[in-house]
Amino acid sequence: MFRPTMIYALLVMSSPASGQSAMTAARFARAVLARGHTISRVFFLDAGTANGSAMAVLPRDEIERLVPWVELAERDGVELVLCISSALKYGMLDETEAKRYDKPAGTTHPAFTISGLGQLVDAAASADRLVTFGG
Amino acid sequence: MTGLERKRLLLIIRHSPYGSSLARASLDVALAAAAFDQAISLLFAGDGVLQLLPGQDSGPLGVKNLGRLLASLPLYDIDQVYVDAETARRYQLDLAAAPLPARALEREALGELIAAHEHLLGF
Amino acid sequence: MTLHTLSASPTTAAFADCLRLIAPGDALLLLGDGVYAALPGTGPRRALGACGAALYVLHDDAAAAGVLARIDGETVVDMDGFVELSERYSRQLAWY
């Protein structure tokens, strides 16, 4: 059946440590690609920036919370962007920001870039679908 | 970001100004959208109407005064600002004294407002 | 037409706010803690039935909550179904 392909932009507001919403977002992203659409960007805002952490340690019998995002970035070329003002507040710093603010180390996984809200605005402006995950 | 497509974006703001980080996040998004010349509207609903209470003094808390931030939005051409009329009444809000002008909409008009926008963001 | 996604439980402001803005012709997908609104015989479930929106529940979240076997009237969707809903409804609004 013919399905027009669409451009999706995703906004993730929730931390991977609270509830299922962030993992639902990652699974949704995977399903969007499986249906033949493209994802222009996944933008992480507020507590959502915690998804970019390279430092979280989970019990062995719980699903990985970082791997699904890294796969989307590295295997499927999906752009993952952490909002810089939120990221700083949540201690999500890449090496550049860590040096800039004199912090001992970067804390984010390289699959995520850190940028401004303009990236969200840009993604929303050119997307057919804008889908938010929160709570 | 020249030649950016324009989608009309409606922010639905449901949280009070100082109880969570979502209020500030929503205003930052509004300002960013305006900075990139996007058509942006704000709807204050639920507890979000409390952002329109006048006389906010956040000094003792040491946090940014969101009432003052709201008051600056028209300077950035953000003037499509709406509030759920019924909720405003329930909180006895004097909209004439609000930090910025907000048009009160009854329930049917709220539906029309949503239908007039391509993208929605809930905060 | 709008796809509303509700991930907060029926006792929250998010639930009440969602019901206030949802319109006939919209769709409502329950996920996360939102699946509890699907529990039959409850006030929230009746309110959903009266709001005029097409009702959906996300399978894995309903299963986790122990709600799946009690679903009565909503359409259960998997992740593929969730995406399909987002294709059909041009606007999405998250309530959380």
Question: What ipTM was reported for this prediction?
Answer: 0.97
Query: CATH: 3.40.1260.10, 3.90.79.10, 3.40.309.10, 3.40.50.2020. Which one for A7-133?
Result: 3.40.1260.10
Assess contact for A73 and A110: CB atoms under 8 A. no
Query: Are the Cβ atoms of C91 and B120 closer than 8 angstroms?
Result: yes
Q: What span, in angstroms and rounded, lies between the C-alpha atoms of A132 and B61?
A: 30
* pLDDT exceeds 60 at position A57: yes
**Residue B75 resides in a domain:** yes
Which chains form contacts with chain A, at 3 or more CB pairs under 8 Å?
B, C
At B112 the three-state DSSP class reads helix
Structure confidence at residue B5 (pLDDT): 67
Tell me the residue range of the domain where B79 lies: 9-54+62-122
Contacts for A51 with CB less than 8 Å, ≥ 6 apart: A12, A15, A16, A22, A44, A65, A66, A69, A82, A112
pLDDT tens, position by position, C65-78: 999 999 999 999 99
pTM for this prediction: 0.96
pLDDT tens, position by position, B47-65: 999 999 999 999 999 999 9
Tell me which of A11, A39, A72, A83 is the catalytic residue. Answer: A83
- Here the CATH number for the domain that contains residue B95 is 3.40.1260.10
For C:44-63, CB contacts with A below 8 A are 58, 61
Contacts for B70 with CB less than 8 Å, ≥ 6 apart: B27, B51, B52, B99, B100
Q: What span, in angstroms and rounded, lies between the C-alpha atoms of B82 and B113?
A: 9
Express as a percent the part of chain B with pLDDT over 70: 96
CATH 3.40.50.2300 fits C2-95, yes or no: no
Provide the shortest C-alpha distance from residue A42 to chain B (in Å). 14
* pLDDT exceeds 50 at position A51: yes
pLDDT tens, position by position, B9-36: 999 999 999 999 999 999 999 999 999 9
**Residue B3 resides in a domain:** no
Q: What span, in angstroms and rounded, lies between the C-alpha atoms of B122 and B84?
A: 14
**Residue B2 resides in a domain:** no
Tally of domains within chain B:
1
pLDDT (tens place) for every residue of chain C, 96 residues total: 999 999 999 999 999 999 999 999 999 999 999 999 999 999 999 999 999 999 999 999 999 999 999 999 999 999 999 999 999 999 999 999
Query: Are the Cβ atoms of A24 and C61 closer than 8 angstroms?
Result: yes
What are the extents of the domains in chain A? 7-133
